[in-house]
Amino acid sequence: MPHATSGPGGRGWLLRLVIAFSFAQGAVSMARPAVSYRALALGADERAIGVIAGVYALLPLFAAVPLGRRTDDGRCAPLLPVGVVLISGGCALSGVAGSLTAMAAWSGVMGLGHLCFVIGAQSIVARQSAPAEQDRNFGHFTIGASLGQLIGPIAAGALIGGDMDRTSALALLVAAAVGAVSLASLWRIEHKRPTSLAPVRAERVPVLGILRTRGVPAGIFVSLAVLSATDILTAYLPVVGEHRGIAPATVGLLLSLRAAATIACRLVMTPLIRLLGRTALLTTTCLVAGLLCAGIALPLPVWGLALALAVLGFCLGVGQPLSMTTVVQAAPDGARSTALALRLTGNRLGQVAAPAAAGLIAGVAGVAAPFVMLGGLLFAAAGLGARKRPGGAEDPRGTHGRAGQRVTGRS
């Protein structure tokens, strides 16, 4: 997959992609807690909340690799509007659903739309960024997700009130409209490459071959752990709030505080990588995040919960962009979109298994117990993150200088 440092039109494509991702992710982040509240209004218990949260990831679990193969062989941009339509449709239909079964189904449609958008968008960033720019560009790209995660829960919390059935339905319909706004930024996102730079059709690398490539499994697991933590926080903090008497508006602010801290992390991630190195940064943040996730199980006051979520959000901000760079740079040539799709498959597998396990644990040990499980998952990610990068080289201080030249030589 050829790379370009900026491409035609400079980095305007990245800004438009970040804006579109902000609205698409904002719709999803607004819808996820609204789905939990609407399910509670329809009589769901903790186990049912876990099942509905897991179905969100079920369809994407089977669709990710075929979509990645398609993207390796052709254009990425067509997946973006398809994703937006599915996200908005899933949000709107969840808002009018009258049963838990229907809500679970439309939650799955929403998850499939999010997958389509993310595979297309991540593949565009990988394809149009030089190796030395990937940490920075993936970091900036994921700011779009964090902006959506910042605004979405606040909006959901502001709309959901005493009549939980009616107001949660309204929040889901508003989320559908928010998602549709992202269509306005999806123009001239993907560059037309000259024939000389077009991807050379080669024999496809088998999925097992990609998974055996050093660095790919570690990147997938780190991403799975970090996303599972974010996902269960989004789905289960409303349930914790209900049990501890915390108002929905306050829960929305707490979730948005976590997202704001993640944005702050990604704005300063490049100097942090230069200061600490990628390995030390990834390992330390996963360890601290694991401790903080386990700490949420304690009966903290609201101010203590806010402080824990702020630090947790900063630490969780590291894992996603660095796992993207790890997978892209480790993957075989001509299979980078498929490798990113496998990373997303791992994410969705975590989003199916983690909420299901969380629902079982919550039903037996209480609603705070799933956060202890997340702590263990993040400790395991820290252990994998401590390993050297592909090729056995020492951890570089960012993808600059000699490290950037080394990757450029094999791209």
pLDDT digits 0-9 by tens, 154-166: 888 888 877 888 8
Domain total of the chain = 1
Mean of the per-residue pLDDT values of the chain: 79
286 vs 131, more confident: 286
- The amino acid at residue 10 is G
Determine the structural domain holding residue 301 and report its residue range: 11-188+206-385
Q: Which two tokens stand for residue 194?
A: 């000259």
Q: Which two tokens stand for residue 333?
A: 């040539």
The CATH number of residue 328's host domain is 1.20.1250.20
Per the domain annotation, does 115 fall within a domain? yes
Cα 270 from chain centroid? 19
Whole-number pLDDT of residue 400: 40
Per the domain annotation, does 378 fall within a domain? yes
User: How far apart are alpha carbons 294 and 81 in whole angstroms?
Assistant: 38
The separation between the first and the last C-alpha atoms of the chain, rounded to the nearest angstrom, is: 7
Whole-number pLDDT of residue 398: 43
Per the domain annotation, does 60 fall within a domain? yes
Whole-number pLDDT of residue 365: 65
Q: What is the 3-state secondary structure (H, E, C) of 12-26?
A: HHHHHHHHHHHHHHH
Per the domain annotation, does 193 fall within a domain? no
Per the domain annotation, does 168 fall within a domain? yes
> pLDDT tens, 19-34?
999 999 999 989 988 8
Q: Is the pLDDT of residue 286 over 70?
A: yes
Per the domain annotation, does 156 fall within a domain? yes
> pLDDT tens, 353-411?
776 777 677 666 666 677 888 888 888 888 877 765 544 434 544 444 333 333 333 33
User: How far apart are alpha carbons 340 and 327 in whole angstroms?
Assistant: 7
Q: Is the pLDDT of residue 201 over 70?
A: no
Counting Cβ atoms within 10 Å, is residue 178 exposed (0-12), middle (13-18) or buried (19+)? buried
Per the domain annotation, does 408 fall within a domain? no
Question: Which stretch, 78-82, 285-289, 347-351, 362-366, has highest mean pLDDT?
Answer: 285-289
Per the domain annotation, does 395 fall within a domain? no
CB 213 within 8 A of CB 332: yes
Q: What is the 3-state secondary structure (H, E, C) of 346-365?
A: HHHHHHHHHHHHHHHHHHHH
